[in-house]
Structure 1
Amino acid sequence: MSEGESESARTVLIAGAANLLIAVAKLVAGLVSGSSAMLAEAAHSVGDTINQAFLLTALRRSQRPADPKHPFGYGKARYFWALLAAVCIFVLGAGFAAYEGIGALLHPRETGSPVISFAVLGVAFLVEGVSFVRAIWQLRSDAVAADASVVDHLRSEAEPALRAVVFEDGAALLGLLLAAAGIALDELTGTQVWDACVSLAIAALLVAVAFGLGRQNAGFLVGKAVPAQMQRGIVDLIGDVDGVDGVIELLTMRLGPDEVLVAARVALTDDYSPDELEAAADEVERRVREQFPEVRHLFLDPTPGDPVSSSCILDPGEPLV
């Protein structure tokens, strides 16, 4: 396991331990106070705890070496388990929160003293805050290493487990604020409507998080290309090698957070001997792997230069999608 993966594993473990302790505290507070918002938050934390188990499984299974049945390795297992984590958020967290909210609206119940609930929410906010800050710190460090902004890195290239922790902890902090607001409004107005409405708001929040995470991981599972900036860098590196007139077509696919497959159709110089062309291919591979270590698989399709192929060569200034 690489240093970055070890950091992700530690981040997930910290988040999982925090969520487990918080889930128990929220459940006790919810049962004692009768607050549907607290019970919804307890379900939220239980769902997050199960998610951490999924994410740790993803980190472990993705480390399996390539074999004849999976020649490109198991890197995409991370996206599969992260997708399951998103489904878990939707089913357990959002489902139970919506159930509690609707039940509280249809059948209002008396609530007890809010003191315990506020105390648990305060401690939970501190614990979740520590986990969230650690995740943001790692995300920022990874973004700097990838020469990208934090937001762009989170949207595209971030480790799936880290991305899930950032989204989950951010949603947890917002959910805690919503729960506190609902309980406070109930106390001020003397009704149980706000507590129930907050449960529904927490359900909507979890649906949004689940959809966002699910959509991102599904994109990687079906074969997402690397960012245009990296594609342009690969095209430029290949085109600068002696014996290569240019790149006609470039195909890329991310196999994992640190694994990329590249296939390129290149136009070759006509007057090069087979030995010289082989040397050029070796130089292409050396340069690409040196500049982009995450490129684990590089396939070149050499095409002798001719007027037709030359007209199809990618221009250095042409944007890649």
Structure 2
Amino acid sequence: MDLGASKKTILVAIAANFAIAITKFIVASIGGSSAMLSEGIHSLVDTGNELLLLLGLRRSKKPADESHPFGYGQELYFWTLIVAIGIFAIGGGMSIYEGITHIQNPSPLENPNWNYLVLGFAAIVEGYSWMVALQEFRAQKGEKDFWQAVFDSKDPTVLTVLFEDSAALLGLFVAFWGVFLGHTFDNPYFDGVASIIIGIILATVAFVLGTESKGLLVGEGADPQTVNNIRVLTTSDPAVEAVQRLLTLHFGPKEILLNLDIQFCDNLSTEEVASAVERIEKLIRDRYPEIKNIFIEAKSLSMGRHSEKIAESVEK
């Protein structure tokens, strides 16, 4: 995962959503469309959310210190959770409220052509931002299918922008039909219903993002394939009898802690065990540079099952 690419994805989304939000609010004030006002709120919330993601990305790069010996990588997960709450409470809640208010107190649409114009402009700009996020997500997911990559992803920034932009494009589609049907049938209720649907879309996206962020904050290990590969690399060393325990934990998209409990072969000296530990660490770090900290507990039968802990925490 390239944090530079994630930052680019966020910056593109911020520029796009801010420009779209201003345009939508202007047209909503001219045309009186509830769906367009909801879309303006949606774009403004997205802009604020992406600024929070940018803040989280920046704070997650702070170096480790005494109070945070494993660094600040999980700051990114915290701010992603705040973004999910913002989408649900502000974006979804206000859109649904606006739609219900419009149904209770309907007002005729004026100048629908302006609505169509801004929806077309927003679709082009939002579509570009969506394509940037999708390309970065495809680069990350590799050979995995889409939903498996979503569930396995440890980078919430690109995932959040992709989902936000997907919801935005779907919201634009709903807003178009709300304005079109409301104008065609001279029925403002269509516009209010469209606003409610937009709110439901945002709430659904917020739920998915919130669930993913919660899992990362609680503590997720490396994906099963990575864990299995580490086990294979470790047992491939001739000095290793078996891997008794293998624990991993993500402290950020590119920061993993690894704890290994290794049973070494019989009759190995302490020096031979230490040499094997160095070989194993180098092999793992060469294959997985995102594993910043490795702690190894080495056991040898020749030690009478006495446990010699060889722990190392070296960050490259």
The two structures have a TM-score, normalised by structure 1, of: 0.91
User: Gaps spanning 5+ residues in structure 2: where?
Assistant: 306-316
Tell me the equivalent position of 2:219: 223
The aligned runs of 1:178-217 (5 Å cut-off) are 178-217=174-213
Q: Supply the distance in 1 between the matched residues of 2:48 and 2:290 (Cα, whole angstroms).
A: 30
- 8 Å CA contact 2:46–2:87 kept in 1: the answer is yes
Select 2:101's aligned residue among 80, 100, 103: 103
Q: Supply the distance in 1 between the matched residues of 2:64 and 2:190 (Cα, whole angstroms).
A: 54
Select 2:4's aligned residue among 3, 6, 10: 6
Tell me the equivalent position of 2:238: 242
Select 1:131's aligned residue among 112, 129, 148: 129
Percent identity, please. Answer: 36
Are 1:298 and 2:312 an aligned pair? no
Q: Which amino acid aligns with 1:105?
A: I
The superposition leaves residues 95-152 of structure 1 with CA deviations (integer Å, 9 ceiling, x where unpaired) of 11011111011111121121000100000000000010011111112233xx544543
Tell me the equivalent position of 1:162: 158
The superposition leaves residues 290-312 of structure 1 with CA deviations (integer Å, 9 ceiling, x where unpaired) of 11111111111123349xx9xxx
Deviates more, 1:164-173 or 1:188-197: 188-197
- 8 Å CA contact 2:264–2:298 kept in 1: the answer is yes
Deviates more, 1:47-56 or 1:101-110: 101-110
Cα deviation for residue 217 of structure 1 reads 1.0
The superposition leaves residues 246-295 of structure 1 with CA deviations (integer Å, 9 ceiling, x where unpaired) of 11111111111111111111111121000000001111101111111111
Q: Supply the distance in 2 between the matched residues of 1:197 and 1:150 (Cα, whole angstroms).
A: 31
The superposition leaves residues 135-192 of structure 1 with CA deviations (integer Å, 9 ceiling, x where unpaired) of 1111112233xx5445433332252211111000011000000000111111222211
Q: Supply the distance in 1 between the matched residues of 2:188 and 2:114 (Cα, whole angstroms).
A: 17
Q: Supply the distance in 2 between the matched residues of 1:222 and 1:41 (Cα, whole angstroms).
A: 33
Q: Supply the distance in 1 between the matched residues of 2:87 and 2:111 (Cα, whole angstroms).
A: 29
Let me know the Cα RMSD of the aligned residues: 1.5
Q: Supply the distance in 2 between the matched residues of 1:44 and 1:203 (Cα, whole angstroms).
A: 9
Select 1:262's aligned residue among 258, 265, 286: 258
The superposition leaves residues 172-216 of structure 1 with CA deviations (integer Å, 9 ceiling, x where unpaired) of 000000000111111222211111111111110000111111110
Q: Which amino acid aligns with 2:82?
A: L
SS of residue in 2 equivalent to 1:121: helix
Q: Which amino acid aligns with 1:217?
A: S
The aligned runs of 1:52-131 (5 Å cut-off) are 52-131=50-129
Q: Supply the distance in 2 between the matched residues of 1:135 and 1:61 (Cα, whole angstroms).
A: 21
- 8 Å CA contact 1:245–1:269 kept in 2: the answer is yes
- 8 Å CA contact 1:250–1:265 kept in 2: the answer is yes
Select 2:36's aligned residue among 30, 35, 38: 38
Q: Supply the distance in 1 between the matched residues of 2:85 and 2:14 (Cα, whole angstroms).
A: 17
Are 1:28 and 2:40 an aligned pair? no
Cα deviation for residue 221 of structure 1 reads 0.7
SS of residue in 2 equivalent to 1:254: strand
Are 1:16 and 2:14 an aligned pair? yes
User: Gaps spanning 5+ residues in structure 1: where?
Assistant: 310-321
Q: Which amino acid aligns with 2:298?
A: P
